[in-house]
Structure 1
Amino acid sequence: MSMRVTFLGTSGAVPTTERNPSAILVNREGDRLLFDAAEGTQRQMMRFGTGFTVSDLFVTHLHGDHVLGIPGLVQTWDFNDRDDPLTVYTPRGTGDDIDALVHAAGNQPSFPVHITEVAPGEVAVRREEYEVRAFRTDHETNSLGYALVEDDRKGRFDRERAEELGVPVGPKFQQLHAGTPVELEDGTVVRPEQVVGDPRPGRRFVYTGDTRPSEQVVSVAEDADLLVHDATFANDRVDRARKTAHSTAEQAAEIARRAEAVRLALTHISSRYAGDVSTHLREARDAFDGEVFVPDDGELVEVPYPDE
Structure 2
Amino acid sequence: MQVTFLGTGGAVPTTRRNTSALMVRREGERLLFDCGEGTQRQMMRFGTGFSVSHVFLSHLHGDHVLGLPGLCQTLDFNDREEALAIHTPPGTKSAVENLVGVTGARPGYPIRVHEVQPGGIALREEEYEVRAFETDHRTRSVGYALVEDDRKGRFDRERAEELGVPAGPLFSELHEGNAVELDDGTVVDPEQVVGPPRPGRKIVYTGDTRPTGATVEAADDADLLVHEASFGEDRSERAGKTGHSTARQAADLATRADAKRLALTHVSSRYAGESDRLAAEAREVFDDAFLPDDGDGIEIPYPDG
TM over 0.5: yes
Please, which of 291, 301, 305 is the counterpart of residue 304 of structure 1? 301
2:162 is the alignment partner of 1:176? no
Q: Which amino acid aligns with 1:10?
A: T
Distance, in Å, in 2 between the alignment partners of 1:171 and 1:105 is 58
Task: Name which of 191, 199, 202 aligns with 2:200.
Answer: 202
Q: 1:166 & 1:13 partners in 2: Cα distance? A: 64
Superposed structure 1 runs of 4+ greater than 2 Å apart:
none
**What's 1:101 paired with?**
99
CA distance in structure 1 between the partners assigned to 2:164 and 2:74 by the alignment:
60
Whole-Å separation in 2 of the counterparts to 1:167 and 1:133: 41
The answer as to 2:262 corresponding to 1:273 is: no
Aligned-pair identity (%) = 67
Q: Is the 8 A contact 2:276 2:291 kept in 1?
A: no
Quick one: distance in 1 between partners of 2:199 and 2:235? 38
The answer to whether 1:245 aligns with 2:243 is yes
Q: Which residue of 2 aligns with 1:58?
A: 56
How far apart are residue 79 of structure 1 and its match? 1.1
Aligned to 1:295: 292
Shift of 1:292: 1.2
Long gaps (5+) in structure 2: none
* Number of residue pairs the alignment of both structures matches: 305
Residues 15-49 of structure 1: CA distance to partner in whole angstroms, max 9, x if unpaired? 00000000001011011100000000000011111
CA distance in structure 2 between the partners assigned to 1:143 and 1:283 by the alignment: 26
Which secondary structure state, in structure 2, belongs to the residue aligned with residue 288 of structure 1?
coil
Contact 1:18–1:275 at 8 Å: present in 2 too? no
Deviation of residue 169 (structure 1)?
Answer: 1.0
The CA deviation at 1:105 is: 1.3
Match for residue 24 of structure 2 among 10, 18, 26 = 26
Is 1:6 aligned with 2:13? Answer: no
2:215 to 214, 217, 229: 217
Return the TM-score normalized by structure 2: 0.99
- The residue that corresponds to 1:49 in the other structure is 47
Q: Please give the TM-score of this superposition, normalised by the length of structure 1.
A: 0.98
Give the whole-Å Cα distance in 2 for the aligned partners of 1:126 and 1:31.
14
Tell me which of 65, 70, 73 is aligned to 2:71.
Answer: 73
- Kindly state the Cα deviation for residue 276 of structure 1 after the two structures are TM-superposed: 2.0
Shift of 1:186: 1.0
Structure 1 residue 277: Cα displacement = 1.8
Gapped regions of structure 1 (runs ≥ 5): none
1:275 & 1:195 partners in 2: Cα distance?
56
Amino acid at match of 1:108: R
Aligned-partner Cα distance in 2 for 1:278–1:110:
44
State the 1:275 CA deviation: 2.7
RMSD of the TM alignment (CA)?
Answer: 0.7
Match of 1:125 among 123, 126, 129: 123
Matched letter for residue 240 of structure 2: R
Matched, 1:228 2:226: yes
1:214: how far off?
0.4
Residue 305 of structure 1 aligns with an amino acid whose one-letter code is Y
Report SS of the residue matched to 2:24.
Answer: strand
Partner of 1:39: 37
